Chains A and B, each alone.
Chain A
Amino acid sequence: MTAALAIVSATVRQLLPVRRAVVFLIAEASLALVYLLMAGTFSDEAAALERLFLMVITLYFPLLVPIVTLIIASAALGSERRDGTLSFLVLRPIPRSVIAATKVFSAILVAGALNALGGFGLSAAFAIETGTWDLVIPLVAGGLVATIVYSAIFVPLGFFTDRAVLVGLLFVLIFENGVAFAAPGLSALSPWRLGFSTFNGLAPNALVDPILQEFDIELVTVSTSLLRTAVLALFSIAFVTIVLRQRDLASE
């Protein structure tokens, strides 16, 4: 096993102990369960689609994906620093860039798997209700894109502050779901909108266009969304690498 694989394997186990995994799985599955419980109230396929959209745009992208990713990603490096195990990791003959990349990747892997399950569950519930499976891949892909962007932000944040979850929540709840709605010009700085743009871009137009018109959300194309996501992920790895090279890695 190479050092990089070993770090990913150890980090995944560190980030997802059994109890936490169960809690997150319940949270991810809850959207699909709620949707299925409401299924009896849908008068037709359009109503079923509208309800799905409502859950995607008010719960899945703006709350579930960022909060799950925040908790996972901020611990990827943050718990190493807080628990004092960072010295175990950095005092090895491994380039700091490898440590940075594996930590960001591990966070994406764990949070991405959970969020993909949530997206799959919700779109599968829609498919069970309507027989249309066309939204599975768009929703899973959108969730993954948002997960990558949030991980790129929250992994470094976790290194810098013990209150990363609180800071992250303020960002998500106040900025993204408050300020960015009030000032659409700022929505380009909102990670979940990149995920939603990917979902929207990949979903069949005939399905989403009529409903999307009801929501005033700034969207970008799928390619722009993917490009921004890749740039942010690379920037995050570079930033963490510089931090690990330049900053004190132990406290007083």
Chain B
Amino acid sequence: MTDNPAFVDDPTVEVTGVSKWFGPKVAVSKLSCSFGPGVTGLLGPNGAGKTTMLRMLTGLLRPSEGEISVLGVWPRAKPSVYSDIGLVPEESAVYTHMTGRDYVKYAAVLSGIDQPRAAADRAIQTVALEDAADRKLEGYSKGMRQRAKVAAALVADPQILVLDEPLNGTDPVQRLRLIDLFRTLGDEGKTVIVSSHILDEVDRMSDRVLAIVDGRLAAAGDVRAIRRAMSDIPYRVRVETNRPRELAARLLEDAVVHGVAVEDGGLMVETEDLSALGRGVAAAAKRVEAVPTVFRPEDASLESVFRYLIGRR
């Protein structure tokens, strides 16, 4: 059994020392990991290299170095393996002149399915697109197109499903339905690889997460492990009050406060425990008779979290 959380014991997809560069720009750098049955989330900010990674997994892009193996082969070398791979690309790429049903049926025919019409109907039902199935795709909303793409990817019942930001543009109800669908597919033993830049989405979909930043693997493991890794990130919180200097002096005595600076008439406070700081600010303000008017974490964006993760490797 492997101890490295970037790898699984029963891989269906293996990535070994893979890099990809476009001219001077390095999109993915010496990335090694593996994927197996269940849902794996590929988490990272925009531009981190997730889409490049997924495109290499499916054979759309060739790695500049390293090796990729899907069900034991490099897909481009053996196109027949594509009957076991389904891709939902990030871009809104559909044949707009087709109806939703024709589009999914086209995918079924290209995948060599015996009864493409019946398979298309089943896939459309799975993503709850029956009502719009006979309308042209050009009239679909982004969320509906996403569901049509998911149906097209599922129509051949592939063993491996690669989903690039599949929840983009979907409404909350569709989102829940798709998340349930992906989890069910993972529970059925399919390898589901799903990318997102939204932590909450990945948390709800995946048992295991690979965090990618600047084309490198920043963290790997189950969602709780990633959360733990992120729990010691210092927050910067802006506090505005009518008595900034007095409040700053009092806050420096608080153990949860790492540092305080007076900036632009307010305070910039560093802490690792946001809720404890909130209580501390309230208590300190009471003691110095200050009135806090603003309490705002400044750098809790996912981007800064990822920067932190890559910085501590």
A: residues with CB less than 8 A from B are 1-3, 6-7, 10, 13-14, 17, 83-85, 87-96, 245-250, 252
- C-alpha spacing A94/B111, complex, angstroms: 8
A-B contact count (CB 8 A): 81
Residues in B with CB closer than 8 Å to A87 are: 55, 58, 60, 87, 89, 93
A84 touching B97 in the complex, CB below 8 Å, given contacts A6-B106, A10-B106, A93-B111: no
Please report whether the interface of chain B is mostly helix, strand, loop or mixed according to DSSP: mixed
Residues in A with CB closer than 8 Å to B91 are: 84
Residues in A with CB closer than 8 Å to B62 are: 246-248
- Besides A84-B93, A88-B94, 13 more A-B contacts (Cβ < 8 Å) are A1-B109, A6-B109, A10-B98, A10-B106, A13-B97, A83-B93, A89-B110, A91-B87, A92-B79, A93-B79, A93-B82, A246-B62, A252-B25
B18 to chain A, nearest CB (A): 14
Q: Which of A84, A96, A245, A252 contacts B89 (CB 8 A)?
A: A84
Residues in B with CB closer than 8 Å to A95 are: 79
Nearest neighbor of A89 in chain B, beta-carbon distance: B110
Q: Which of B106-135 contact A (CB under 8 A)?
A: 106-107, 109-112, 116
Interface string of B61-85 (1 = CB under 8 A from A): 1100000000000011001111101
A88 touching B107 in the complex, CB below 8 Å, given contacts A93-B80, A252-B25, A252-B52: yes
Instruction: Check A3–B60 contact: CB distance below 8 A.
Output: no
Residues in A with CB closer than 8 Å to B116 are: 1
Instruction: Check B79–A3 contact: CB distance below 8 A.
Output: no
Residues in B with CB closer than 8 Å to A85 are: 93-95
A222 to chain B, nearest CB (A): 38
B284 to chain A, nearest CB (A): 50
B296 to chain A, nearest CB (A): 36
Instruction: Check B89–A94 contact: CB distance below 8 A.
Output: no
A85, A88, A90 — most chain B CB neighbours (10 Å): A88
Q: Report the count of interface residues on B (CB-CB < 8 A).
A: 35
Q: Which of A13, A17, A91 contacts B85 (CB 8 A)?
A: A91
- C-alpha spacing A113/B82, complex, angstroms: 34
A55 to chain B, nearest CB (A): 34
Residues in B with CB closer than 8 Å to A90 are: 59-60
B168 to chain A, nearest CB (A): 14
Q: Which of B60, B82, B106, B107 contacts A248 (CB 8 A)?
A: B60
Instruction: Check B60–A249 contact: CB distance below 8 A.
Output: yes
Residues in B with CB closer than 8 Å to A91 are: 58-60, 75, 82, 85, 87
- C-alpha spacing A229/B73, complex, angstroms: 38
12 contacts between A and B (CB under 8 A): A1-B116, A7-B110, A14-B95, A83-B93, A84-B91, A85-B93, A89-B110, A91-B60, A91-B82, A91-B87, A94-B110, A252-B22
Residues in A with CB closer than 8 Å to B106 are: 6, 10
Q: Which of A6, A17, A83, A248 contacts B110 (CB 8 A)?
A: A6
B116 to chain A, nearest CB (A): 8
- C-alpha spacing A172/B171, complex, angstroms: 50
Task: Say whether B257 faces chain A, with CB atoms less than 8 Å apart.
Answer: no
Q: Which of B188-215 contact A (CB under 8 A)?
A: none
